[in-house]
Structure 1
Amino acid sequence: MAGIYFHETLDPVRTPGAHTRYLAELGEIVSTTGNAEGSAGAECIAAWVPVFLNGDWPRMVTFWEMPGGWDGFADHFEQRKELFHGPLERWYGERSGGFDRVLVGSPFTPSRAQLLAADQRAAVVLQEIIDLKSGGAEDYLALLAEMKEEIDGTCRFSLLGSYETAFRHGSEVMLLWAFPDMRTLARLQAQPAEFTAFLRWQQQARRHELGHRALIMRPTDWSPLR
């Protein structure tokens, strides 16, 4: 069964300390109760902060797995009929808005439990959001599946997960790549020929892509995956 995931891009209010307070409170919740009331019952995989000079800022990204897949997703929202969940009011002091995605993991994407059991590390994460023609997600992810093993085995970084965005008619995919440090990511950009398997993947992938947005992120100190 494919995993279902919840991806949040959060915008803190533009006041000193707001993003720090928000992340501190969220970290306390994740560390003690697992998740906040109304958060679709999801279990936190990671909390990231984008590296500045690399997109909109300040910004925060959180990533969750929904227990029970689509059945769990349906059960949660059938049981909660309110238009706005309770914790929303309390978060207004630290965040001004955000953007959510529901993601479906590819067959070769590890679950949260598998990532933590394997002691997966991701000191730096490259997030890629790819626009495709309608229905193109399945073929795009199948192509990645063919090349993933070689990339993971020969490059100094690896694929953390690959996902189709739900409710988009197969027109959007998200990829997460785990890097051991910023120097490795910079080397990939400066000397791509050193990473031949990944270079071949990029050459193949570009034939399918209609748009591409990348974001470099680092984990919070309390992030389950870091």
Structure 2
Amino acid sequence: MHIYLHETIDPVRSPGAHNRYLDEIGHVVATEGNAKGSAGGRCIANWVPVFLTGQWPQIIGFWQMPGGWDGFADHFDTHPELFHEPLERWYGERSGGFDRVLIGTDYTPTLDEIVESGTRAPVVLHETIRVRPGDTPEYLDCVGALKEALGSMYGFGVLGAYEVAFRNQSEAIVIWSFPDFKTLVRTQSAPEEFPELQAWREKSTQLETANTGVVVRPTSWSPLR
């Protein structure tokens, strides 16, 4: 079972802060792997929302954590400090954030699989979904069936889907990959061209209690770019 760290970061509202933060994270990923005192994850992406589709400025960080649940537990049992060391390092560029721990589905590629296959996702639709408590497994099974049905037919599809831990199986993250904005927009403007997706949207309204989608793009140093 693969465990991921999903972080939504609010940059300081001052000129250049968001770029300085991303440059620093890119340097850390390239030279250190992860910042000292953090959870030891390997960075899959840092995404920036397209400003017309969500809150801005904002940054979404996505990391694969080593060792699954055992690695998660070992890290925090051996790091009892209340605030991890890099917090002071980035106070100048970020004002706060919100973290989630995610459990990957069996049809979600790991970072190594993404790199090995050369998978790219230059345009991403990032969905945060709420369902009734206990329904996340059923919902994610349906997303997996959709991923298989879409395949490579249209050039876009489900990149990965995750259960959000510590939510009583009531929240999920689904990440869609698109080759460009024209393809993404076509799924909105002409849904009848994609019957499998259209059928899913109708079905998902019966399963979801809330769905918040935001369009994001990865940084230049992300494996997905």
- TM-score, length-normalised on structure 2? 0.98
| Aligned residue number for residue 110 of structure 2 | 111
Contact 1:48 1:217 in 2 (8 A): yes
Letter in 2 for 1:137: T
Counterpart CA distance in 1 for 2:158 and 2:21 is 29
User: Residues 193-218 of structure 1, C-alpha deviation per residue, up to 9 Å, x if partnerless?
Assistant: 11111111111111100001001001
Contact 2:130 2:211 in 1 (8 A): yes
1:58 alignment partner, SS class: coil
Letter in 1 for 2:90: W
Shift of 1:147: 2.3
Letter in 2 for 1:44: C
Tell me what 2:35 maps to: 36
Q: CA deviation at 1:153?
A: 3.2
Which has the higher mean CA deviation after the structures are superposed, 196-205 or 72-81? 196-205
Q: Deviations over 1:130-165 (max 9, x none)?
A: 100000101101112222211123222021100000
Partner of 1:199: 198
Match of 1:62 in 2: 61
2 CA distance for matches of 1:165 and 1:118?
26
Residue 25 of structure 1 and its aligned partner are, at CA, apart by 0.7
- 1:174 equivalent in structure 2: 173
Could you tell me which amino acid in structure 1 is paired with residue 164 of structure 2?
Answer: T
Does 2:14 align with 1:21?
no
Identical pairs, percent: 53
SS in 2 for 1:45: strand
Q: Using the alignment, how far apart are the partners of 1:144 and 1:52 within structure 2? A: 27
Say whether residues 1:76 and 2:72 are aligned partners: no
Matched residue type, 1:38: G
Amino acid at match of 1:91: W
Alignment correspondent of 2:182: 183
Give the gaps of 5 or more residues in structure 1: none
1:163 is matched with which residue? 162
The whole-number CA distance in structure 2 between the counterparts of 1:148 and 1:184 is 17
Other structure's SS at 2:208 match: coil
Contact 1:155–1:197 under 8 Å retained in 2: no
Corresponding residue of 1:99: 98
Rounded to whole Å, the distance in 2 between the matches of 1:6 and 1:74 is 13
Once the 2 structures are TM-superposed, how far is the Cα of residue 39 of structure 1 from its aligned partner?
2.0
TM-score, structure 1 normalization: 0.97
Please identify, of 75-84 and 137-146, the stretch whose mean Cα deviation from structure 2 is larger. Answer: 137-146
Across the aligned residues of Structure 1 and Structure 2, the Cα RMSD in angstroms comes to 0.9
| Amino acid of the structure 1 residue aligned with 2:163 | E
Contact 1:154 1:195 in 2 (8 A): no
Contact 1:154 1:197 in 2 (8 A): no
